[in-house]
A and B are shown apart, each in its own frame.
Chain A
Amino acid sequence: MNFDGAVFWQALTSDTFRQGAITAIALTVVAQLTAVVIGLVLAVMRGSGNRVLRGISWTYVWIFRAIPTLVQLLFVWNALPQLFPALREDWFSSFLAAWLALSINEGAYMAEIVRSGLLAIDEGQQLAARALGMTPWSVFRRVVIPQVVRVIIPPTANEFITMLKITSLASAISLQELLTYTQQSISITFRFAEYYAAAAIYYLVIVSVFMAFQAWLERRFLWSSQRGGERRLVTALRGMGAR
């Protein structure tokens, strides 16, 4: 078998790969968090009594779920600067473009996830909070949101992992992330297996960390007086193997 362990190890421990991984993680986190906020706003708009707001939310989800992510990415990077000269400046980096495109796209999916979370909450919850004399904002922040968060953790964690992998699409707009470095290395050395394997290991490790974070988060939202000492991340990591 033609697999050079030294090349593989060199790739795995190289600065460029680590740099690419950090870029991929950073892009994943900022894009996904932005998408959660967009999704929350869209979901609330969708549930509002205002027909115009509902229409805007529906249209957003319709458009950005329909168009392939890669098309949106290329559009933001190539077409937007054509339309708006202000974006031809240096500050409009490929990272910024990827952030914008991926969060707009993912926001459409998050809107549906948050909406399902809102629908999952018993109507008696809002009734009880309103009966206490709580204002709408207070009801939303203290009663609705904490319960929505718990419901949407598993599907959102899924989206997080998907987002990490979608960031590799940003290699198409020459963002220096993990896959870009992999392909650059391959084009020089023609060692496919070693570099792809190294990249795969990186993705595996990053996703594992995300999963541990998810497990920890789910425990925090267990709503049980028994969880006491199990809230620590280390314990959650250990518990993951048993799942």
Chain B
Amino acid sequence: MTDHKPLLDPALLGTEVVEPASTAGSGPLLEAVDIRKRYGRNEVLRGVSFGVERGDVKAVLGPSGSGKSTMLRCLALLEPIDGGEVRLEGRTVGVRGSGRPARLPERELAHQRRDIGMVFQKFNLFPHLTALGNVMLGLTEVRGRSKEDAAQIAGDMLERVGLGARTRFYPSELSGGQQQRVAIARALVMNPKVMLFDEPTSALDPELVGEVLAVMEELAREGMTMVVVTHEIGFAKRVASRVIMMDEGEIVEDGTPTEFFGSPRHERTRRFLEAVH
């Protein structure tokens, strides 16, 4: 559906893609350093550390309740963390000061979130806007594009995810797979440096999973840096460059797909893989 036009087209997304040579290529693009998060007395993340290299696709597996979604929300700066840091291109984000850093005010967090794209399990499309309106909103409200510009860019992007004929439809008039593709387009037009996917196919009917995974695979092929929380073992095997296993708020395994699925080192990974196969 998207083989003729790339999803990541600098001409479409504007000129902000140019990176200064000093920051590009040195160290991970996105890094979690000993992230801790608790809800009341419940410790959801107990020191999570990992890095995502530029162009990497990191698949995150693990049983439900293991903290995968929470971790993603922390990386997206949507949840304050209780310890550790999130680094984007080597810079600590979400907080101000060192020693005992304070969380940035929401306005400044908003500014930093522009570089991080997020796709949710339940799509979270805006029901009062058409598919086009959904994809346009970030462009007009955050990127300061004119309505005409935004409509042009959003329309092109929707075409690239195979929804060129659905731009005038409202979310309630789209299938789950179509809604999720709109959601991906909505995040992509913001030209993020990294895309975070929170179980993007878990809420879909089985026959609709394929169309969403196809867009994600295409995105990976074009070199987008991605962190994908998923239950799709097949996708992790095919597309991921690294696979992480989370359990009880910790990362218990981190390896290439071959290592991870071929010879998992940790007992909990083995048991999890047996359970989902």
Report which A residues bind B (CB closer than 8 A).
122, 124-125, 127-136, 138, 142-143, 146-147, 150, 221, 223-225
Interface residue? B138 (CB, 8 A): yes
- Checking B112, B124, B142 against A125 with a beta-carbon cut-off of 8 angstroms, the contacting residue is B124
Chain B nearest CB from A129 CB (Å) reads 8
Closest to B112 in A: A133
B87 CB–A CB distance under 8 Å: no
Does the CB pair B106–A135 fall under 8 Å? yes
Any A CB within 8 A of the CB of B127 = yes
Tell yes or no: B100 within 8 A of A by CB. Answer: no
Top-9 shortest CB links A-B: A133-B114, A128-B124, A124-B124, A131-B118, A132-B138, A133-B113, A146-B128, A133-B142, A223-B170
Known: A132-B141, A223-B172. 8 other contacts (CB 8 A): A128-B124, A130-B106, A131-B118, A132-B138, A132-B187, A134-B142, A143-B126, A225-B168
A124 neighbours in B (Cβ, 8 Å): 120, 122, 124
Q: A133 near B110 (CB under 8 angstroms)?
A: yes
* Residue B169 is within 8 A (CB to CB) of chain A in the complex: yes
- B76 CB contact (under 8 Å) in A122, A131, A147: A131
CB neighbors of A among B73-114 (8 A): 76, 78, 106-107, 109-114
CB nearest to A131 among chain B residues: B118
Which residues from A are CB-within-8-Å of B111? Answer: 133
Instruction: From known contacts A138-B141, A223-B172, A224-B172, infer whether A133 and B190 are also in contact, taking CB-CB under 8 Å.
Output: yes
**A130 and B126 contact, Cβ closer than 8 Å, known pairs A124-B120, A224-B170:** no
Q: Which residues does B use to contact A, with CB under 8 Å? A: 76, 78, 106-107, 109-114, 116-118, 120, 122, 124-128, 130, 137-138, 141-142, 168-170, 172-173, 183, 186-187, 190
Known: A130-B110, A134-B138. A225 touches B78 (CB 8 A): no
In the complex, 18 of the A-B residue pairs with CB atoms within 8 angstroms, ordered by the A residue number, are A125-B124, A127-B120, A128-B126, A130-B109, A130-B113, A131-B116, A131-B117, A132-B141, A132-B187, A133-B111, A133-B113, A133-B114, A134-B137, A135-B107, A135-B110, A146-B128, A150-B128, A223-B128
Among residues of B, the one whose C-beta sits closest to the C-beta of A221 is B128
Given A127-B120, A224-B172, A224-B173, A134:B141 Cβ within 8 A? yes
Q: A128-B120, A150-B128 are in contact. Are A142 and B107 (CB under 8 A)?
A: no
Contact across chains for B78 and A130 when beta carbons are under 8 A apart: yes
Q: Which residue of B lies closest to A136 (CB)?
A: B106
Residues in A whose Cβ lies below 8 Å from that of B124: 122, 124-125, 127-128
Residue of B nearest to A122 (CB): B124
Give the nearest-CB partner of A132 in chain B: B138
Q: Which of A127, A146, A150 has the most CB of B within 10 A?
A: A127
CB B156 to nearest CB in A, in angstroms, measures: 18
Residue ID in chain A nearest B170 by CB atoms: A223
Determine how close the nearest CB of chain A comes to the CB of B135; give it in whole angstroms.
10
Q: Closest CB-CB distance, B184 to chain A, in whole Å?
A: 12
The answer to whether residues A132 and B142 also contact, given A127-B78, A150-B128, A225-B170 and a CB cut-off of 8 A, is: yes
CB distance from B201 to the nearest CB of A (A): 17
Nearest CB in chain B: distance from A74 CB, A: 42
A130–B112 CA distance with the chains assembled, in angstroms? 11
- Give complex CA distance A124, B128 in Å: 14
Determine the distance from Cα of A132 to Cα of B76 in the docked complex, in whole angstroms.
10
What's the minimum C-beta distance from A133 to chain B, rounded to whole angstroms? 4
* Distance, CA A138 to CA B137, complexed state (A): 10
A98 to B118, CA, bound (A): 51
- In the complex, chain B residues whose CB is within 8 Å of the CB of A224: 170, 172-173
Q: Quote the shortest CB–CB distance from B228 to chain A (angstroms).
A: 16
A172 to chain B, nearest CB (A): 42
Closest chain-A Cβ to B111's Cβ sits at a distance in Å of 7
Measured between alpha carbons, how far is A142 from B127 in the docked complex, in Å?
12
Chain A, Cβ-Cβ closest to B127? A223
Set of chain B residues within 8 Å of A147, measured between Cβ atoms: 126-128
Q: What is the bound-complex CA distance between A147 and B172, given in angstroms?
A: 14
**Docked-complex contact A142 and B168, CB < 8 angstroms:** no
Shortest C-beta distance, B186 to chain A (Å), equals: 7
Query: How far apart are the CA atoms of A223 and B171 in the complex, in Å?
Result: 9
Residue of B113, B127, B172 near A131 (CB, 8 A) is B113
Instruction: Report the separation of the CA atoms of residues A129 and B137 in the bound assembly, to the nearest whole angstrom.
Output: 9
Q: Choose among B122, B128, B168, B186 the residue that contacts A132 (Cβ–Cβ < 8 A).
A: B186
Measured between beta carbons, the chain B residues less than 8 angstroms from A129 are: 126, 137
Instruction: State in angstroms the CA–CA spacing of A221 and B122 once bound together.
Output: 22
A124 to B125, CA, bound (A): 9
